[in-house]
Chain A
Amino acid sequence: MKVRINVIVNGEKHHLEVKPNHTLVDVLREELSLTGTKKGCGSGKCGSCTVLMDGRPVNSCLILAPQADGREVVTIEGLAGREPHPLQKAFAEKGAIQCGYCAPGMILTAKALLDVNPNPQEEEIRFAIAGNLCRCTGYSKTVEAIRSCANSSRNNRPSAGRKAYA
């Protein structure tokens, strides 16, 4: 038995038939082939499946597919405009990516933080990403990357990052 859902993913409307027990991460990865969203635990404990739902970061492995009905979802594939998002550049340039399995979720969490708090203090950054595990970097460079974006003028205007999906 399947249920129909309407969901906007990265600005595109999708009408999907999904198993009601399936989670958003499975729908994204399997139905839409958006494998940028990772699955590190499947139980809400690692943050690697983080996507933005109506602008807020959620663990997509905890969202049942029907709950995504009528929502707007942004995945890592949809974050960049014509150019990579400044956070994506900063993560790469500052060495915040080693294996990179955590990166999509981490970057989207950081994006959501900067949207509401364009100039976060280090503690605020650490608090915001505390649900995103990274086993490689030790977080020093992750924090540095996010901070470097906080100081850039683009993110001082919180609307800039959202524009593409407004």
Chain B
Amino acid sequence: MRDLDVVGQSYPQIDAMEKAMGKTKFVSDLALPNMLYGRILRSPYAHARIKHIDISKAKSLTGVKAVVAYADTPGIKFGPRTEDWTILASDKVRFCGDEVAAVAAVDEDIAEGALDLIKVEYEELPMVSDPLEAMEPDVPLIHEDKPGNIAFEFKIDVGDVDEAFKNSYVIYEDRYYTNQVYQAYLEPMGAIADVDLSGRITFWVGTQIPNMMRMTYAKAMGVSPDSIRVIVPDYGGAFGAKMENNVHLVAAVLAQKAGYPVKMINTRHDDFIAGNPRVPMYIDIKLGATREGILTGKEVRVVGGAGARVVYAHAIVATACYRADSLYRFKHVRSKGYTVYTNTVPTSCFRGFGNAQMTFVLESALDTIADQLDIDPAELRIKNGIGPDEVSIHGWIINSCGLKDCISKATEAAKWQEKRQLKKPFRGIGISCCNHVSGNRAFAREFDGAGGIVRIGRDGRVTVYAGESDMGQGQKTVFAQIVAERLGVPLNLVHVAIVDTDFSPFGLGSFATRGTLMGGNGVLAAADDAFKQLADVAAEMLEANPNDIECSNEKFFVKGSPERNVPFKDVTEKATFVRYGSPVVGTGFYNPGTELPDAETKYGNISPAYPFACQVAEVEVDPDTGQIKVLNFVAAHDIGRAINPMATEGQIQGGVIQGLGWALMENMVTENGSIANPDFLDYLIPTALDSPNITPILVEPIESSGPYGAKGIGEPALNPAMSAITNAIYNATGIRIKELPVSAEKILKELKKRPK
């Protein structure tokens, strides 16, 4: 491969200046002529039967253009994976915030006022909000067809775990709890929906999965997928949350009814109570090791709270059950996972997708075992860590793997040895590792992979179309860099279109840390195709063989003689003329060759590549107040080649601070079935004052399956952060944190228990 010009450079995001100037139109900034504003009436009860709804008064309010309840919807059961949703509640409500009725009016005040005029008679039912309780006998059923409130069970059993435990020198066993936290993207969820004369519905919506959403919504609306168009303008963050949500569909139902476009953006309050926060989990773990610290067996039982309907919780619980097994050289593992309905907000994806929960638990357990065996925790991880070209217990083919490099670089930068040895009172240093995927065949069921389109016009302007949307992570910039590199043009010639299901490839979306590897390979294949078309024209102009044509710095030339060249734009112009105006359109796709895991054994290579990380945190605990201060944080990440090092660093820093927020601050508190802190006053996320500087370290083994050697970074940036911090707290105080978040009160309480 020749030297790279554009890939590997720290360009600002290609749309950063627009954003800095306030010019970018986010979803909530858009307005259409005659647009109405929608509001949803949400259930005040966690579990209740709807006896009667009267919308007549609301309808007669001046300025109200449509009022809808269940009877006005298609009344179809649907769901992204489990068909336990309806667009509005039919006979009962299952969580505080459940969608009951909705209004579209000429302005937000009127819509809000009309909600007060809708009369709903409820009959309260007994409710349950804790997933363990929900599984107990004689507990009210949330969905009558699901006994024990169990929506899904997941099982995996490889090797002989019992025998492995018998052969262990130490066995650690404990229960952990990872709480429910909120993604807290700065732009709330929402959409504008419009219906044309043929009945075709267009959504302008910030979503990570425009195409999968289209399929789900087609089912919900009782129309063919072709009757739904999803346009994804710029949107303000997602972190896993912006997938399917009723808020979009309610807008569509209102638009149908009113005959005008309807804009429905959650208030922050509604976003808290009816977004899709992280799946809370009870995790029992049993972990064994030999005297030398070689891990023998692992057994976990995961109970995840899905809330009132399954969005993707079952896949998240499954991920918690087995993904981390491929971080170390496990031979014997057993997991049982339960996805359980409760009368709380439906939970779903949040950066880490279950692996974040399990990484916290596994890495805490490892830390305890290191302590019991008196082995350095970093050493223990190096001893057991998986390496390049190995095949994990579940058949995952690990190509590139910089795990051990990450450990040695992170510990060195954090002065691990020194700080462990010369430990000061109430200061501590902790380590945590993680693995992840770049695409997840187990989740993307029909296929995994990605397509791309690269269009090059007469004037040489390059436009890239992909199916993986940019939620702020910099996906557009990464695609532009990949395409610019392949074509041999500067970055400013390349533009990336927003995802529009009418024009873009059928991309699966931006999740599972797959955007750069999958989408990047898709657009690379398309650029390759476009390049070949241009090379044919350039070859004619240069009187050479097309196979010998290269392009760099916007000039086509014959390999080896760059001095005789033709400008890129001359070639694109010629190409357009000889095609009678048709632009050069390159298309291509990437087939990752991954496998759908076996239904029984779950064996199968689910991702073309696996990123790894090691993070080290240093903390200080105030013995008088219990306050925890993170003093230093080093995050070393194996990401294959960094297409854009600055953007990668930004992902790492942002991910770590989200993990820090989870570990030390964030908690959605449910009281009597309703969320007691649904605003940024009572639900605190890290501010600049809570956030230490993060030192990112990029470890870049070239990944053979990645575009220019790249893997993904989104989720691994967060996964190890919580246990790096709690392991540091353990090192500082001897207190093992088994429940997130840690608070000063909890620490103080533990410290007080100690003899003085």
B-contacting residues of A (Cβ < 8 Å)? 19, 21, 29, 34-43, 45-46, 48, 75-77, 80, 84, 87-89, 91-95, 97-104, 107, 125-127, 129-143
Identify which of residues 680-699 in chain B touch chain A, using a CB-to-CB cut-off of 8 Å.
680-681, 685-689, 691, 693-694
Given A138-B694, A139-B691: A40 touches B188 (CB 8 Å cut-off): yes
* Smallest Cβ-Cβ distance to A84: which chain B residue: B21
**Is B426 an interface position by the 8 A CB rule?**
no
The reply to whether B12 and A92 form a contact with Cβ atoms under 8 Å apart is yes
Q: Check if A45 sits within 8 Å of B681, measured CB to CB.
A: yes
User: In whole angstroms, how far apart are the Cα atoms of A126 and B693 in the complex?
Assistant: 11
Q: For A19, what are the chain B residues with a Cβ–Cβ distance below 8 Å?
A: 109
Contacts of A139 in B (CB 8 A): 653, 657, 686-688, 691
The verdict on A95 contacting B21 (CB below 8 Å), with A43-B679, A135-B239 known, is: no
Among B16, B655, B687, contact of A97 (Cβ-Cβ < 8 Å): B16
Given contacts A89-B20, A100-B234, A136-B237, 12 further A-B contacts (CB under 8 A): A43-B679, A43-B680, A80-B21, A84-B21, A88-B20, A99-B185, A130-B689, A132-B688, A133-B186, A137-B653, A138-B686, A140-B691
CB within 8 Å of A: which residues of B? 10, 12-13, 15-17, 19-26, 28-29, 109, 183-188, 234-237, 239, 267-268, 471-474, 646-647, 649-650, 653-658, 679-681, 685-689, 691, 693-694
Decide if B688 touches A130 in the complex (CB within 8 Å): yes
Across-interface contacts of B646 in A (CB, < 8 A): 94-95, 141
Give the nearest-CB partner of A102 in chain B.
B186
What would 23 A/B residue contacts be, using CB atoms closer than 8 Å? A21-B109, A29-B29, A45-B680, A84-B17, A84-B20, A93-B12, A98-B472, A98-B474, A98-B654, A99-B234, A99-B237, A100-B15, A100-B234, A104-B22, A126-B691, A129-B687, A134-B186, A135-B239, A136-B186, A137-B653, A138-B658, A139-B687, A140-B694
Please report the C-alpha to C-alpha distance between residue A37 and residue B22 in the assembled complex, in whole angstroms: 7
Which of B22, B24, B185, B188 has the most CB atoms of chain A within a 10 A radius of its CB? B22
Chain B residues with Cβ below 8 Å from A143 are: 688, 693
CA distance A89 to B687 in the complex (A): 23
Partner of A99 from B236, B268, B691, B693 at Cβ < 8 Å: B236
User: By the criterion CB–CB under 8 Å, are B26 and A88 in contact?
Assistant: no
B653 touches A140 (CB 8 A): yes
> Which of B13, B23, B647, B688 is A125 in contact with, Cβ under 8 Å?
B688
Q: A35-B29, A40-B187, A42-B268 in contact; A127/B12 too (CB < 8 A)?
A: no
Binding site secondary structure of chain A: loop
Report whether B650 and A75 are in contact in the complex, using a CB–CB cutoff of 8 Å. no
Chain B neighbourhood of A99, CB < 8 A: 19, 185-187, 234-237, 471-472
Please tell me if the beta carbons of B21 and A136 are within 8 angstroms of each other in the complex.
Answer: no
Q: Which residues of A contact B658 (CB under 8 A)?
A: 135, 138
> Which of B20, B186, B688 makes the CB contact (< 8 A) with A126?
B688
Evaluate whether A45 and B186 lie within 8 angstroms (CB atoms) in the complex, with A36-B22, A138-B653, A141-B650 already known: no
Smallest CB-CB separation from B26: which chain A residue? A101
Q: A37–B267 Cα gap in the complex (Å)?
A: 16
Q: Is there contact, CB below 8 Å, between B13 and A97?
A: yes
Report B-chain residues with C-beta under 8 Å of the C-beta of A136: 186, 237, 472-473, 650, 654
Expressed in whole angstroms, the Cα–Cα distance for A36 and B401 within the complex equals 43
- Whole-angstrom distance between the alpha carbons of A137 and B474 in the complex? 12
Identify which of B17, B186, B654 contacts A48 (C-beta below 8 A): B186
Assess whether A95 is in contact with B12, with CB atoms less than 8 Å apart.
Answer: yes
Least Cβ distance of B45 to chain A in Å?
A: 25
Contacts of A134 in B (CB 8 A): 186, 688
In the complex the two chains form, is A141's CB within 8 Å of B653's CB?
Answer: yes
Task: Tell whether, in the assembled complex, residue B650 and residue A95 are in contact, meaning their CB atoms are under 8 Å apart.
Answer: yes
Q: Which residues of A contact B25 (CB under 8 A)?
A: 35
A78 to B, closest residue via Cβ: B22
Which of these, A29, A36, A94, A133, contacts B687 with CB under 8 Å? A133
- B712: shortest Cβ distance to chain A, in Å? 16
- Chain A residues near B654: list those with CB within 8 A: 98, 135-138
Cβ of B237: which chain A residues have Cβ within 8 Å of it?
A: 98-99, 101, 135-136
Query: With the chains together, A75 CA to B655 CA distance in Å?
Result: 30
> When A35-B25, A135-B237, A141-B653 are in contact, do A100 and B687 touch as well, CB less than 8 Å?
no
Question: A21 — nearest CB in chain B belongs to which residue?
Answer: B109
On chain A, the residues within 8 Å of B650 by CB distance are 95, 98, 136-138, 141
- Smallest Cβ distance from B237 to chain A, in angstroms? 4
- Chain A's nearest CB lies how many Å from the CB of B725? 14
User: Please, how many angstroms separate the alpha-carbon atoms of A100 and B680 in the complex?
Assistant: 19
Question: Are A40 and B268 in contact, CB atoms less than 8 angstroms apart?
Answer: yes
Chain A CB within 10 A, most for which of B16, B26, B473, B680: B16
CB pair B688 A38 closer than 8 Å: no
User: What CA separation (Å) do A127 and B239 show in the bound complex?
Assistant: 26
For the complex, give the distance between the alpha carbons of A92 and B22 in Å.
12
Closest chain B residue to A45, Cβ basis: B680
**Bound state CA distance, A17 and B688, in angstroms?**
38
How many angstroms between the C-alpha atoms of A141 and B654 in the bound complex? Answer: 10
Instruction: Contact check, A100 vs B12: say whether CB atoms are below 8 A apart.
Output: no
Name B186's contact: one of A37, A38, A125, A138 (CB within 8 Å): A38
B19 touching A45, Cβ below 8 Å:
no
Q: Which residue of A lies closest to B22 (CB)?
A: A36
**A-B complex: 9 closest residue pairs judged by Cβ atoms:** A36-B22, A99-B472, A100-B19, A101-B236, A76-B22, A138-B657, A45-B680, A138-B653, A92-B16
How many Å from the CB of A147 to the closest CB on chain B?
12
A98 touches B679 (CB 8 A): no
A76 to B24, CA, bound (A): 11
Judging by beta carbons under 8 Å apart, are B184 and A135 in contact? yes
Closest partner residue, chain A, to B649 (CB atom): A95
Check if A36 sits within 8 Å of B689, measured CB to CB: no
Cβ–Cβ < 8 Å partners of A91 in chain B? 16, 20
Residue of A nearest to B188 (CB): A40
